[in-house]
Amino acid sequence: MSEMEEEDFVPPLPTQHEPTTSAKPLLQSVLSRNLPPKHGNPGKSTMATNTLTPLLWNQFFDEKRELHIGEDVFTVYLKGSRGPIFYLLHGGGYSGLTWACFAKSLCDQIECRIVAPDLRGHGASHSEDEEDLSVSRQVRDIADIFDKLFEKDQGDVSVCVIGHSMGGALAVHVVHEKVLKANVVGLIVIDVVEGTAMESLSGMVHFLNSRPPTFSSYENAIKFCLKSAMTRNSTAARISMPSQLREITENQLTWRIDLAKTEPHWRGWFEGLSSKFLDCSPPKLLALAGVDRFDRDLTIAQMQGKFQTCLLPKVGHCVQEDSPENLADEIARFAVRFRFATSKVGMVPSVFPERRPF
């Protein structure tokens, strides 16, 4: 896409009650993106240039650490010094910086520590094999990162695992396989369910090919991110979008990871996800952007009180970017209710129906 096309590209925002189509589950449950509309030239955007300037990680996190694990180097963003650990796993194509606004909001509400890694092939992490996004490889990475960070406190820390989209599936696998050397006190999955995700896979390659292959600047990439509703939050776009790109030349950027090359691993992320989620023993929360994401097994289990749910209004798939304060509020209340975190703001924990969560 040329620079002129980027400037002129002003796609419409989806509405809250937009009907579900075969393409929508793909965009909302697998790739953490919204499908770019057809190209057109409806007129110049009036978005101010200063609203598109990239933001730095240290405006949201306390520390950025590089962990050497074998031949791989994983970048991890950290925040907080006391309380339980919230281990945040991003979706496909994103990075640990997708949690920036959410992490700040959560730490304002409860005493906690944030760990947000760039997973294999994403963000500022570098691995020998960046196309092996298999469940087994990524679960091992997630466990190794945790072990490296807390090797002196193994078994003596409490952790709540949170994942979005692909990261939500990985969070379930991690807790189900019990690979973390810690007391797992909670599991939170954001906007991904097995049925919707599996139905989406046939359209994934078409979606990937529909995105602009390059951008002439970070500002133009951020503009595309906002105008195509990848995220609807300008602050989130300014911190997250640059980490999803890499430089080809001085004036040309492309996507950090070629997700199409990871296709052999897609089905493995989601197969059997609902049953594994329900089998996990810690308190569970499923945060969704719409009720159409529920499949039959989850609907029945939710009616039986086996896990908690919350629906976030007026958001797209990237819930933690579109509505970081509201999501942080829901998760803080969940943590306080199950007594693994302490509120800083005197919130009332009993916001869910009084019944056993599992």
Catalytic residues: 165, 191, 317
Dist CA 319 CA 231 (whole Å): 9
Q: Is 186 left (phi over 0), alpha (psi -120 to 50) or beta?
A: beta
Q: Which of 160, 153, 162 is nearest to 181 (CA)?
A: 153
Measured N-to-C along each axis, helices 135-149 and 166-177 cross at an angle, to the nearest 10 degrees, of 70
- Inter-residue contact 213 to 254 (CB < 8 Å): yes
Phi/psi for 300 (5° steps) reads: -65, -45
SS (H, E, C) the chain: CCHHHHHHCCCCCCCCCCCCCCHHHHHHHCCCCCCCCCCCCCCCCCCCHHHHCCCCHHHCCCEEEEEEECCEEEEEEEECCCCCEEEEECCCCCCHHHHHHHHHHHHHHECCEEEEECCCCCCCCECCCCCCCCHHHHHHHHHHHHHHHCHHHCCCCEEEEEEECHHHHHHHHHHHHCCCCCEEEEEEEECCCHHHHHHHHHHHHHHHHHCCCEECCHHHHHHHHHHCCCCCCHHHHHHHHHHHEEEEECCEEEECCCHHHHHHHHHHHHCCHHHHHHHCCCCEEEEECCHHHCCHHHHHHHHCCCCEEEECCCCCCCHHHHCHHHHHHHHHHHHHHCCCCCECCCCCCCCCCCCCCC
